[in-house]
Structures are given as structure tokens and as C-alpha cells.
Amino acid sequence: MTDADEAAWTRRSVLAVVPPAQPRRLAKVPFVELADGRLQGVVSSGSDIERVYVSSVAAGNHAYHCSTNNNRPCGGLRGAPCKHLEALAEEAVLQYGVDPVARYLRVDAGPDVRGGRDLLARMDTRHEPTPAAVVFSRFLRHLAYLELPDSTTALPELHWFPATGAVR
């Protein structure tokens, strides 16, 4: 990684850790960002604590995808965004506020749109597989960044949940 990449990452990370507009459910959605032309993030599995999903919706054409971090397609995608995408959209609205998210994704949000689910329902979405690896590595870098100030131990690969102290 070049110094320029490193600097760019650091800038993005600083943006990513600004306090949310409203309290977020970090255990459910440990990572959400508006970056690379997408709303993207990491959503915990409802049933398996060691499994996470990488979900994203592209700005403009509203192509969405959801898979495990190993690129296994989410079983909840049945011609419509799954519950992980809904959770991601809800958290994005908590993090950034409804108008900034709508502007970024280029959604025409009416006054009755309050949460991320409403926003998702206003989009003409379509499914388009995208690789999970980029988003997932950004998530791991994000965690490492949060860990750095008061931790000298390496981040155990699976211990990304807030209970480990990644988010205080």
C-alpha cells in the first residue's frame, strides 16, 4: 500500500467514525459507510454470531447485493433486498440522517420517508453481484483503526463485535 492510499484511508476512517446522528445498533450492523458510490457495510447474522454479511446498494442504479464475507450469496435474496440490506439502510439513516443518505443514493425521498426501510422501498432496485472482499477489508481496517489508540494486541480475526471493545 502506498502512502497516498494510507492517507486516503485515514481520511475516510476519520469520516467514518464521526458520531452518528442517532444511536446506532453496533452489534447488529458493526460497519456502515457511504463510499465508492455505494451504501455498504457489514451486518451480523441473526442466528450465527460468527457469521457476517456484506451488503451494498449502489447509488443511481440501485443495484444491490448481499453475501457472506466469503462471497457465498445470501439466502435471503429472493428477487428483493434481504433483511440485511434493510438493516443496513436503517443504520445508514441513523448514522447519517435520512436526507444525506437519500442524496448520496439519488433517491427521491418524500416527506413520509423516515427510516432506511422506507428509503429502500422507494428505490427501483435490482440484483447485481459485487465482491464482498473490498468492503470486508475496509471493515477490518476500520476496526483496526478504532483499536489502535489503546490496544497493542493484534485484532483476533473473528472478534469484531463491539463486545470485544472495538467500539467504546
Chain residues 47-106 in contact with Zn ion, contact rule CB under 5 A: 53, 66, 74, 76, 82, 84
- Would you say 119 or 146 has its CB closer to Zn ion? 119
Long-range contacts of 151-159 (CB under 8 A, 24+ apart): 158/50
- Would you say 103 or 127 has its CB closer to Zn ion? 127
> Is position 162 an interface residue for Zn ion (rule: CB under 5 A)?
no
- The residue behind cell 458510490 is 37
Closest contact distance (angstroms) between CB of 142 and Zn ion is 20
Report whether 89 contacts 104 (CB < 8 A): no
> Is position 20 an interface residue for Zn ion (rule: CB under 5 A)?
no
Chain residues 111-150 in contact with Zn ion, contact rule CB under 5 A: none
Closest contact distance (angstroms) between CB of 43 and Zn ion is 7
What's the one-letter identity of residue 54? V
- The residue behind cell 467500539 is 167
> Is position 107 an interface residue for Zn ion (rule: CB under 5 A)?
no
- The residue behind cell 497516498 is 4
Residue 26: strand, helix, or coil: coil
47-64 in b/e form (b: 16+ CB < 10 A) is eeeeebbbbbbbbeebbb
Closest contact distance (angstroms) between CB of 55 and Zn ion is 6
Q: Which residues bind Zn ion (CB under 5 A)?
A: 53, 66, 74, 76, 82, 84
